[in-house]
Amino acid sequence: MSQPLNEKQVDLLRYLTRQSGPVSSADLDGRIIRALKSRDCITEHNGHVVVTDAGRETLQGAVAPKVRKRRVAAQQTATHARAKAVQRAIQILELALPRDSEVAVGNIFAAADDVVDGFRRYARALEKKKA
């Protein structure tokens, strides 16, 4: 069994999957590209990166890596429950939003992928929060 993907690898794979076409590899982290290429999740041709079918399957089964920390049980469960609720909402939101769409945030429009990434960072911050 191969090693699970870390957060940055999952984020890049998710980003590449949401794009409508190939993405220039010059704008991406080479270490993450090499790791994903070694797992056959992406291919690189002429300086552009494309997700493979194996990469899409890997993303479907990707689970966030478990971080072991000692905390008081009551604090951990409350924070963990909030983070899991946000993560479930993010998954539903990703399925509902079409590729390359924009959403209204207050009185401005933003790329839906950026808004979803912001929610994902918030959920991670909740998980890492020390009370």
Within 10 angstroms of residue 24's Cβ, the number of other Cβ atoms is 10
Q: Are 96 and 88 in contact (CB under 8 A)?
A: no
Q: pLDDT digits over 53-89, tens only? A: 988 888 877 655 555 555 555 556 777 788 888 888 8
Domains of the chain, residue spans: 7-51, 69-129
Whether this prediction's pTM lies above 0.85 is answered by no
Q: pLDDT digits over 17-49, tens only? A: 888 888 898 888 889 999 999 999 999 989 999
Q: pLDDT digits over 118-131, tens only? A: 888 888 888 777 54
